């Protein structure tokens, strides 16, 4: 009988699908160390993970029984793909389930930065009342630069256009014509986009090309007072260069949902900078998105393990 291990917290709807499938045994254990995952996997045909479980080369190597990994979410950066491929382990993800929630988180952070929502609310809770200090900036009429026009980038664009922003964008795999169909003015590269934008948001995977895509040199080209968002992967915006630019005032504010190291260290520099708005990787953390990705991951796993039957 195929056995499936769920090693990260998964929405109950997904677990139920597996439990209701005759001929599949499901075990939920979200407290395993990497060594324990490695040991446990010897007795499983499939594993469903979110971002917590790290399926490194060490964990995946020498797993004759394991056939499939389902990632409830987009990024498979916590799975060593070369090792999985070498071992004949199929790796599946659920790319669409958290698109809207992550786009909404991006816009929530843009609004919060523009209106100083967090410091203003914190001041009030502390007994204060300061209307002048927290004067904000209207988003309608401003230019939003989107780097990466895939699922989330396009969902952000659609919403920003509804907010009466001018949207410009760059993606090496999209044509200017396709971008125009979405109401986006296409830029031929990042260096062309950056100086035009009042807000910049990145929605690419983390690759050798996108690591440090927004670095000190790129920030130099930006408009003074630009606001930045990263709800994609830590490191696409260089964290040190960003801290320098926030401290110098070149960047008015930045909102990061993702970090080079998660969680970032306690003495992480951006924690101490006022205009850095930090959230702990919450883009996909809505009930709706978690249910969608869990359902899809469970269905993919069942489909794979029962194929041909
Ligand atoms: P997607 O694959 O639909 O879109 C990514 C886009 O980036 C593609 O269109 C691709 O062509 C483009 N791209 C690749 N290299 C590029 C480059 N060098 N310059 C510009 N564009 C480039 O992915 P998605 O679902 O939109 O997700 C985007 C990112 O958001 C991923 O990194 C994903 O892991 C992350 N994500 C984060 C959260 C969160 O909780 N914060 C939630 C979901 C997704
Ligand atoms: C993803 O890649 O799907 C997101 O980062 C969200 C998550 O890890 O759950």
Its ipTM equals 0.99
Residue nearest to ligand 2 atom 6, measured at CA:
284
Domain range annotation of the chain: 3-95+287-307, 99-278
Any bridge partners for residue 168, and if so which?
A: 145, 185
Write the pLDDT tens digit of every residue in 210-248: 999 999 999 999 999 999 999 999 999 999 999 999 999
- Tokens at residue 71, please? 């990632």
Ligand 1 and 170: CB distance under 6 A: yes
Longest dimension (CA), the chain: 68
Ligand 1 and 116: CB distance under 6 A: no
CATH topology of domain 99-278: Rossmann fold (3.40.50)
Is there a common fold for 3-95+287-307 and 99-278?
yes
User: Is residue 203 within 8 Å of residue 176, measured between CB atoms?
Assistant: no
Q: Ligand 2 — pocket residues by CB below 6 A?
A: 50-51, 73-75, 98, 283-284
The ligand 2 atom at the shortest distance from the C-alpha of residue 284 is 6
Between helices 12-20 and 287-305, what is the axis angle to 10°? Answer: 20
Ligand 1 and 88: CB distance under 6 A: no
The catalytic residue positions are 233, 262, 281
Residue nearest to ligand 1 atom 15, measured at CA:
204
Residue nearest to ligand 1 atom 2, measured at CA:
150
CATH superfamily label, 3-95+287-307: NAD(P)-binding Rossmann-like Domain (3.40.50.720)
Write the pLDDT tens digit of every residue in 241-289: 999 999 999 999 999 999 999 999 999 999 999 999 999 999 999 999 9
* pTM across the whole model: 0.96
Give 309's pLDDT tier (boundaries 50, 70, 90): low
Any bridge partners for residue 199, and if so which?
A: 144, 227
The ligand 1 atom at the shortest distance from the C-alpha of residue 153 is 26
Cβ within 8 Å of residue 47, ≥6 positions away: 4, 5, 6, 7, 37, 41, 53, 55, 66, 68, 69, 70
Ligand 1 and 145: CB distance under 6 A: no
Residue nearest to ligand 1 atom 37, measured at CA:
232
- Tokens at residue 87, please? 């071992």
Note the pLDDT of residue 244.
98
Ligand 1 centroid distance, CA of 293 (Å): 16
User: Is residue 197 within 8 Å of residue 143, measured between CB atoms?
Assistant: yes
Write the pLDDT tens digit of every residue in 4-45: 999 999 999 999 999 999 999 999 999 999 999 999 999 999
Of all ligands present, the nearest one to the C-alpha of 8 is 2
Cβ within 8 Å of residue 157, ≥6 positions away: 144, 146, 149, 167, 169, 182, 183, 184
């Amino acid at each position: 009988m195929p056995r499936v291990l769920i090693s990260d917290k998964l929405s109950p709807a997904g677990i139920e699908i597996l439990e209701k499938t005759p001929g599949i045994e499901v075990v939920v254990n979200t407290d395993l160390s990497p060594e324990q995952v490695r040991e446990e996997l010897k007795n499983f045909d499939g594993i469903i993970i979110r971002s917590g479980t790290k399926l490194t080369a060490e964990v995946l190597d020498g797993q004759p029984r394991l056939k499939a990994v389902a990632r409830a979410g987009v990024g498979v950066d916590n799975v060593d793909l070369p090792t999985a491929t070498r071992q004949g382990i199929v790796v599946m993800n659920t790319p669409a389930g958290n698109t809207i929630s992550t786009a909404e988180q991006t816009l929530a952070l843009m609004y919060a930065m523009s209106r100083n929502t967090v410091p203003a609310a914190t001041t009030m809770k502390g007994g204060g009342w300061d209307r002048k200090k927290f004067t904000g900036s209207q988003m309608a009429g401003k230019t939003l630069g989107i780097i990466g026009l895939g699922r989330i980038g396009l969902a952000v664009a659609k919403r920003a256009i509804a907010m009466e922003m001018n949207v410009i964008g760059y993606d090496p795999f999209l044509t200017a014509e396709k971008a125009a169909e979405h109401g986006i003015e296409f830029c031929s590269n990042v260096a062309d986009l950056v100086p035009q934008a009042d807000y910049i948001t990145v929605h690419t995977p983390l690759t050798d090309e996108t690591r440090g895509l927004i670095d000190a040199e790129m920030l130099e080209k930006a408009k003074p007072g630009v606001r930045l968002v990263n709800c994609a992967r830590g490191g696409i915006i260089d964290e040190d260069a960003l801290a320098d630019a926030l401290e110098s005032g070149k960047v008015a504010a930045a909102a990061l949902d993702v970090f080079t190291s998660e969680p970032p260290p306690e003495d992480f520099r951006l924690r101490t900078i006022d205009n850095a708005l930090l959230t702990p990787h919450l883009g996909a953390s809505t009930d709706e998105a978690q249910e969608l990705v869990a359902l899809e991951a469970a269905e993919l796993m069942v489909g794979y393990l029962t194929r041909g039957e």
